[in-house]
Chain A
């Protein structure tokens, strides 16, 4: 009766990490509980119907779940919760989607009243065809995703046994010369392949691209990779050429500028969602080849039209990659039902402990607005307020001080407002990369930063994602997109690539005290704080004084 786990009646599980049984317990509950927060002492897991159903899909039954809870629980587990778990898990598998030799895709049930119940639902009716026998109903193959999503919402998740198409075969091998997939990457590829489709969650800098490459090497089929922007597309291409048997000719780029369709095609979300006369002309890309695997990079940014189209792609294997599956629009569950359940998740601090990402020192520097700025802030229109406080003059001084302190290291200054960035660039004598900077220019600047020719780079939010700058050790955030948690995590991710000499990364967030900026900052930091990144708070005056 002294286990590491406390089962709460609201279905959260609290795991005391310093307990000697914590690791065993973590392994026991990981298959069915979602890790919600992982701060330093107590990790919070949550039992959700989705998580329980995924556990069922992976072959765990209610008895195992109950046993794991009862075994590790410190206090008696509420009886109602155990009953609820058994009931929830029992709902899975009453309905199955499968291939019928004569009727194609069919939905069958082992429990006729359930089928009757769901067929009465208005949302299911348009998705199904004729009733073949009392326990079977035909489903339009194109509605496979839709019906799964709908049934999930109705609380009767269908087990999908209809399988995947193999797609057009294409030889892809990992070229492991002098490097190898890390254990967790291997595990991620394995879990994904075993599960068929799903999402892999790894911290920034932990090598998600390689998980993609590993999966492609498993699939050995033509692959469509969807990425956020052109620079990222180029990096994928570069990495694939370097890490796999693929050659330059086999990889196509499908972006605003180039429209190549090759066995491995990398497309940007932007081009897919370009809309002309009410139609999305580039969505045809999905049908242009018999893809065997579709990889969604930064799946937390998946735009709505792609969601819709993904629903129709249920017969193809789908891999989602992300560092932060938090969507401010709350559509996480759509990601899970359309791309697939979470197949692999590693807490940031765990990867850091294994030495694959650099340890980071996160500091929030609080600056005071000057009296004049305070007055301006107080009188500003609501929509202008954040801009006023986020671009305060003091931030520039603090930024300069930090840059001076880390002179000689590779420093990124990241911000939201172009004027602010331009001004900073001018004062720091550093180039600025923003939306209007051409791709060629961007790549050139990134390259010289990588080479150490320039040590300070000022970037706007275009560099939030997928920009591989392994040498950056210090990031200074001067403003951001309001309270976006995933943006904060992504920006920290810019400096988390492991350093050659193993030294620490620094992440400074400069925040104006007693303003909206501070409220947003608190919200932004929440994800990282829950991942165990404890922010240190410093006063600007302190920082400037240290300098002097």
Chain B
């Protein structure tokens, strides 16, 4: 920290921050932009926020491997630690020169990012960071170190501690704290420790050897073997839980020669060259691929020109449509998906937003397609560089096991543009024309942004990097694996390797963690959907819009001469093919595309003329002489005679038959009369047209035509479809077939006997139910006539059971499921399970009633039964 007066050592992170100048604070906020949203009110709040777990985790995830290792070492060092101690942990007793050189940089980064504060003789890791990085049994540290002696002996009986101290050859002390301190300092003293270990039996040393690089925990039985006993006695292994022992941190560090990490990696792994080619070859290959990219996108859009595939309800392209598109483009599905996504990212296609949503070209496509090829490519390349959509995921499944479809949701990975730019920057760091090995690029990326936890090679960043390499090749950013000069120009200033190796080492803060590129709150780094961040404008990296325009212009300048020059001629051959030995000028290509079928595509295009294709051209409004002139003009070779004949033959028959619609016609053997009609102004409304000397076609319907002609003083006759004269008088107006109306009698039909008897029975039963004289219910309040009987449930049940035994009918009140009440006369047959099964006189059938729906029951008067 560069303050003028030497202030007293800060006592907290907030105080440490307070001593920092504006530039240094700005650097902090740039590196950890989450701290400014929202803007903290004061430095104390800033310090508090910088110490929150989420923010610290995020900051740690953005550290390169060496800086992270430094932080890990600090987490196992004393608090506060002197720089010397840290250096010892990182560089070991041997003081590895590379580490010694790199460490100040790493410490500076940690300090800048407010993960570390305090002077060099009192370095303190922010507490949250220390908690995150310090080893614990649940979260073993990547250092493989165990707890310190003090932590491991906490809770041990003082007597046992004194035994250990004595066994280790130290004087016994009066309290446990000083004993532990003495033990720790013994373990920390290389000379005395070596002397102690020199006495150790060989087998015991082997045990230590096994635990030294971690994990530091081991299992012991209740009665440990002699070699373990020796170690346990001297505290070289300390018990943690029954049956488990741990090697104290100090012991491990002694055995490691002071190293906190088995392999400190102060220098980023170099990106290795796989092949070196002449830069011209690389540029040409990339330009060839760039041209293919343009052709493919154009072809895709052409395929979708007259209505693209439908948008799935969940968004995206169905698997079937993708397959169809892949077939149409003659590509594999993942490739087709890449091009579709690229066109989407470049804004060339979008959903049309209609009721039945389909994908369609955007108006921008029409603008794009008119630009010079190099500009078109630059637009695609920039869209790719900046885009967060990752076509590589298509076909996979998301967390909810839904298939990820092309153009669909769930494909945004916010880390993608940063990884792309980083990979290309690494490529740009190689000499021109050099292609790197994919493994070394991946290793370098893994160093720059290490995963906390176990290393895998299928993590998102590695996959993104692999996709970047293959997509860059497809797009012509790279040619045969090496970065092309046009792409170099496109990347602009960011592409130039910056600074020496040490700077590269700390470069993650400035280089990869590009403030605009990843400058937004980010959880695990890849989960947040793209639209949460208003970054696309800045995403192409470090370049300002103006710089980007300059870079684009430079790329266009470099690329343009490498793209094949559009031709204005083709070679016509007698086998009815035309070969365009290179790309054609657009108008020429368009006409030829209609006039002939494309047989083969690539650098050149082979067209075949068929009767069908020639007819297509004629249908498109061209005449045979147009076509002859067109071919003669654009063919570098004489037009072969069979082709001339083909066009003439098709043209001769084309349009020979004419088809049109007319509503009615007028025919007359006397063409003079037809002339007269045509000349008459009153005929204008009939819209007559002469088809032949004796035939006029009209757009008016026959009746109107007849009336019209009559009004003009003619006497036309109507003609039937067969050509007979229609006699109007004969055909009166008729309805379609109709049946005669049914007679409506005065009352309902007289019922037959059966119906009558059934009706009577029903009436009687109803009558019985409502009028049956009943016995008075004892404890019931006097009931109004017609009211439902009410009895207690117990009475109801008893009465029912009695009725079953006697076989008598009873009178009940019943409330059905809809709540409507009725009265019924039933003869109970069975009472069980809360139900009464009975013959219902009212309904004349056997029914079952739930007892709880029966409001009450009354016996019928004797006289009835």
Query: Cβ of A39 < 8 Å from any Cβ of B?
Result: yes
Interface extent on B, as a size class? 20 to 34
Q: Known: A39-B575, A41-B637. Is A10-B600 also a contact (CB below 8 A)?
A: yes
Query: Cβ of A75 < 8 Å from any Cβ of B?
Result: yes
A16→B581 CA distance, assembly (Å): 9
Q: Which stretch from B260-268, B506-514, B639-647 is at the chain A interface?
A: B639-647
Query: Cβ of B480 < 8 Å from any Cβ of A?
Result: yes
Which of chain A's residues have a CB closer than 8 A to the CB of B601?
8-10
A529→B579 CA distance, assembly (Å): 15
Query: Cβ of B440 < 8 Å from any Cβ of A?
Result: no
Q: Is the CB of B287 within 8 A of A42?
A: no
Q: Known: A9-B292, A78-B288, A530-B575. Is A42-B581 also a contact (CB below 8 A)?
A: yes
Query: Cβ of B104 < 8 Å from any Cβ of A?
Result: no
Query: Cβ of B121 < 8 Å from any Cβ of A?
Result: no
Which of chain A's residues have a CB closer than 8 A to the CB of B649?
513-514
Which of chain B's residues have a CB closer than 8 A to the CB of A42?
571, 573, 577, 579, 581
Q: Is the CB of B579 within 8 A of A14?
A: yes
A532→B288 CA distance, assembly (Å): 31
Q: Is the CB of B284 within 8 A of A6?
A: no
Nearest chain-B residue to A44 (Cβ)? B606
Which of chain A's residues have a CB closer than 8 A to the CB of B552?
none
Shortest Cβ distance from residue B91 to the other chain A in the assembled complex, whole angstroms = 46
Q: Known: A37-B575, A40-B573, A529-B574. Is A534-B473 also a contact (CB below 8 A)?
A: no
Q: Is the CB of B473 within 8 A of A14?
A: no
Q: Is the CB of B564 within 8 A of A40?
A: no
Which of chain B's residues have a CB closer than 8 A to the CB of A77?
288
Query: Cβ of A120 < 8 Å from any Cβ of B?
Result: no
Nearest chain-A residue to B604 (Cβ)? A6
Nearest chain-A residue to B610 (Cβ)? A522
A514→B604 CA distance, assembly (Å): 33
Binary A-proximity of B568-595 (CB < 8 A = 1, otherwise 0): 0001011111010110000000000000
Q: Is the CB of A7 within 8 A of B574?
A: no
Binary A-proximity of B553-573 (CB < 8 A = 1, otherwise 0): 000000000001000000101
Q: Is the CB of A8 within 8 A of B600?
A: yes
Q: Is the CB of A6 within 8 A of B480?
A: no
A73→B581 CA distance, assembly (Å): 12
A10→B331 CA distance, assembly (Å): 10
A364→B646 CA distance, assembly (Å): 13
A41→B653 CA distance, assembly (Å): 31
Query: Cβ of B545 < 8 Å from any Cβ of A?
Result: no
Query: Cβ of A536 < 8 Å from any Cβ of B?
Result: yes
Query: Cβ of A74 < 8 Å from any Cβ of B?
Result: yes
Query: Cβ of A161 < 8 Å from any Cβ of B?
Result: no
Query: Cβ of B388 < 8 Å from any Cβ of A?
Result: no
Nearest chain-A residue to B287 (Cβ)? A76
Q: Which of B285, B573, B574 has the most CB of A within 10 A?
A: B574
Q: Is the CB of B289 within 8 A of A78?
A: yes
Which of chain B's residues have a CB closer than 8 A to the CB of A9?
292, 330, 601-602
Query: Cβ of B224 < 8 Å from any Cβ of A?
Result: no
Q: Is the CB of B602 within 8 A of A41?
A: no
Shortest Cβ distance from residue B264 to the other chain A in the assembled complex, whole angstroms = 40
A519→B595 CA distance, assembly (Å): 19
Q: Is the CB of B606 within 8 A of A534?
A: no
Q: Is the CB of A78 within 8 A of B292?
A: yes
Q: Is the CB of A14 within 8 A of B641?
A: no
Q: Which of A16, A75, A364 has the most CB of B within 10 A?
A: A75
Which of chain B's residues have a CB closer than 8 A to the CB of A79?
285, 289, 473, 479-480
Shortest Cβ distance from residue A314 to the other chain B in the assembled complex, whole angstroms = 36
Query: Cβ of A537 < 8 Å from any Cβ of B?
Result: yes
Candidates B284, B285, B330, B577; contact of A10 at CB < 8 Å: B330
A529→B577 CA distance, assembly (Å): 10
Query: Cβ of B603 < 8 Å from any Cβ of A?
Result: yes
A74→B580 CA distance, assembly (Å): 13
Shortest Cβ distance from residue B858 to the other chain A in the assembled complex, whole angstroms = 85
Binary B-proximity of A44-58 (CB < 8 A = 1, otherwise 0): 100000000000000
Query: Cβ of A318 < 8 Å from any Cβ of B?
Result: no
Q: Known: A40-B573, A41-B579, A75-B582. Is A12-B606 also a contact (CB below 8 A)?
A: yes
Q: Is the CB of B574 within 8 A of A75?
A: no
A534→B292 CA distance, assembly (Å): 34
A9→B574 CA distance, assembly (Å): 24
Which of chain B's residues have a CB closer than 8 A to the CB of A526?
575
Binary A-proximity of B642-681 (CB < 8 A = 1, otherwise 0): 1001000100010000000000000000000000000000
Q: Is the CB of B287 within 8 A of A535?
A: no
Candidates B571, B604, B637, B642; contact of A537 at CB < 8 Å: B642
Shortest Cβ distance from residue A536 to the other chain B in the assembled complex, whole angstroms = 6
Which of chain B's residues have a CB closer than 8 A to the CB of A40?
573-574, 637
Q: Is the CB of A534 within 8 A of B637?
A: no
Within 8 A of A (CB), among B501-535: none
A76→B288 CA distance, assembly (Å): 5
Q: Is the CB of A14 within 8 A of B285?
A: no
Which of chain B's residues have a CB closer than 8 A to the CB of A533?
574
Shortest Cβ distance from residue A228 to the other chain B in the assembled complex, whole angstroms = 28
A79→B482 CA distance, assembly (Å): 13
Within 8 A of B (CB), among A508-548: 513-514, 526, 529-530, 532-537
Query: Cβ of A353 < 8 Å from any Cβ of B?
Result: no
Shortest Cβ distance from residue A324 to the other chain B in the assembled complex, whole angstroms = 15
Nearest chain-B residue to A12 (Cβ)? B600
Query: Cβ of A372 < 8 Å from any Cβ of B?
Result: no
A41→B479 CA distance, assembly (Å): 32
Within 8 A of A (CB), among B281-308: 284-285, 287-289, 291-292
Shortest Cβ distance from residue A377 to the other chain B in the assembled complex, whole angstroms = 15
Which of chain B's residues have a CB closer than 8 A to the CB of A102?
none
Which of chain B's residues have a CB closer than 8 A to the CB of A536?
641
Nearest chain-B residue to A539 (Cβ)? B645
A513→B284 CA distance, assembly (Å): 50
Binary A-proximity of B28-45 (CB < 8 A = 1, otherwise 0): 000000000000000000
Shortest Cβ distance from residue B108 to the other chain A in the assembled complex, whole angstroms = 44
Shortest Cβ distance from residue B84 to the other chain A in the assembled complex, whole angstroms = 55
Shortest Cβ distance from residue A18 to the other chain B in the assembled complex, whole angstroms = 9
Query: Cβ of A1 < 8 Å from any Cβ of B?
Result: yes
Q: Is the CB of A75 within 8 A of B606?
A: no
Binary A-proximity of B484-502 (CB < 8 A = 1, otherwise 0): 0000000000000000000
Shortest Cβ distance from residue B610 to the other chain A in the assembled complex, whole angstroms = 9
Q: Is the CB of B637 within 8 A of A75?
A: no
Q: Which of A40, A76, A533 has the most CB of B within 10 A?
A: A76
Q: Is the CB of B606 within 8 A of A514?
A: no
Q: Is the CB of B284 within 8 A of A1?
A: yes
A353→B114 CA distance, assembly (Å): 85
Binary A-proximity of B230-255 (CB < 8 A = 1, otherwise 0): 00000000000000000000000000
Q: Is the CB of B641 within 8 A of A534?
A: yes
Q: Known: A9-B292, A75-B582. Is A537-B645 also a contact (CB below 8 A)?
A: yes
A12→B604 CA distance, assembly (Å): 10
Q: Is the CB of B288 within 8 A of A75?
A: yes
Binary A-proximity of B737-771 (CB < 8 A = 1, otherwise 0): 00000000000000000000000000000000000
Candidates B291, B577, B603; contact of A6 at CB < 8 Å: B603
A530→B653 CA distance, assembly (Å): 27
Which of chain A's residues have a CB closer than 8 A to the CB of B292?
9, 78
Q: What are 21 residue pairs bridging A and B, where the CB atoms are less than 8 Å apart in the complex?
A: A6-B582, A6-B603, A10-B330, A10-B600, A10-B601, A12-B602, A14-B600, A14-B604, A14-B606, A37-B577, A41-B637, A44-B606, A73-B603, A74-B582, A75-B288, A79-B289, A79-B480, A366-B645, A514-B653, A534-B642, A535-B574
| 6 nearest A-B pairs in the assembled complex, by CB-CB distance | A76-B288, A8-B602, A534-B574, A75-B603, A529-B575, A39-B573
- Which A residues form the contact surface with B (CB < 8 A)? 1, 6-10, 12, 14, 16, 37, 39-42, 44, 73-79, 364, 366, 513-514, 526, 529-530, 532-537
**Given contacts A6-B602, A41-B571, A366-B645, could you give 17 more A-B pairs where the C-beta distance is less than 8 Å?**
A7-B602, A8-B600, A8-B602, A8-B603, A8-B606, A9-B602, A10-B600, A37-B575, A39-B574, A76-B285, A76-B287, A76-B479, A78-B292, A79-B285, A79-B289, A79-B473, A534-B574
